[in-house]
Amino acid sequence: MIEVRSAAIDVESLQSALRDPGAGGYCSFEGWVRNVNEGRQVDRLEYEAYEPLVIAEGERVLEEARERFPYLQARCVHRTGLLEIGDLAVWVGVAAAHRDEAFKACRYIIDELKVRLPIWKKEHYSDGDSGWVNCERCAQHTHQ
C-alpha cells in the first residue's frame, strides 16, 4: 500500500498493520527532514506530489519488490506540504518470513520510490532563498 498525505505519519499504526503470523522479520526506513543540504542551512522543506501517478507507480514498485524479495506485507507513506526540521517525510515498512527479505525489500522500495515517484522537494533556506531540489538520477530514469 502506498499513501500520500499532508498529516503527520503515525508509525505505530503502520507497524501494527504489517503484523502477520507468518512474519519472522520486519524492517523499516524513516526519512527525516534535516537542517543542512549540500552545505546550505535548511529551515524547512515543501513537498508536492502528483498523487494518481504516485499511487500507480508506487504499487508497481511494491510488486517488483515482492517478486525479487518475497515479503508478506509492505507499506509506504510520503508526506506533502510544508515540513519542519526533524519531521518524518517518508516511511517504508516491510514484514517478511525472514529478515534478509525484509531488509532487501525495504531498501529496494525506498531506493526505487526516490527516483520513480512524481514527488518534488523544495528547500527553504535560512538566508531566505528557496529552490526545488534537482535529482539527476530521477531525470535519467526510464521505464524498462
pTM of the model: 0.91
* Cα 10 to Cα 107: distance, rounded to the nearest angstrom: 21
Q: Residue 144 above 50 pLDDT? A: no
Q: What is the pLDDT of residues 109-125, one digit of tens each?
A: 999 999 999 999 999 99
The answer to whether residues 11 and 30 touch, using CB atoms and an 8 Å cutoff, is: yes
Quickly state the pLDDT bin for 143 (edges 50, 70, 90).
Answer: very low
Q: Map out the domains of the chain with their CATH numbers.
A: 2-127 (3.90.1170.40)
Q: What is the pLDDT of residues 59-111, one digit of tens each?
A: 999 999 999 999 999 999 999 999 999 999 999 999 999 999 999 999 999 99
Phi, psi (5° rounding) for residue 143?
A: -75, 140
Grid cell, residue 40, equals 546550505
